[in-house]
Amino acid sequence: MRRFCMAFVLVVVPAFAGAQSTSPGTGDPTVFGGEVSVLNLMPADQFAAAGLSKLSPAELRALSLWVRSHSLVVADLARTAALNPEPAPSDNPSLIMTRMAGDFTGWDGSTVFQFTNGQIWRQVSFGTLYQFVRSPKVMLVSTGGGWRLQVEGVPQSIYVRRLR
């Protein structure tokens, strides 16, 4: 996943960071309202094979904006992962140590947590907490009756259930 994120950041994000777009196969600049178009992201034959040549200018603009916004999210996650490497895996099957994928803002009763190891967990115990921690380390501990989530820098812990 990290390799994909880094490749995405190195290839797609620079295209949106200031490159001028071109129509597939023509070299003609195509910029929609100051935003770079998806037209420069693939060769003309792939653009046509994907059916993108059927899109109206408004649809191309919407697709370009969507790709740009999602590439920025991926870039931010890749930057966070690069700055905060994954802790070494534990040999203990009842202990999982990883990081929050992105910033931690607390929990509200049914919060879903995504971790850099790809796992997704949901809060199952009652409780509300509002606290901000930037991409914290987390520890999931099997207690026999469930899993407890402990977030670095947060004094409380909660019970969670693994979704994936």
Domain layout of the chain by residue ranges: 2-83, 95-162
Exposed (0-12), middle (13-18) or buried (19+): which is 65, by Cβ within 10 Å?
middle
Q: pLDDT, tens digit, for every residue of 115-140?
A: 999 999 999 988 899 999 999 999 99
Q: Which residues pair with 113 in a beta bridge?
A: 121
Q: pLDDT, tens digit, for every residue of 43-89?
A: 888 888 888 888 888 888 888 888 777 777 667 666 766 665 555 55
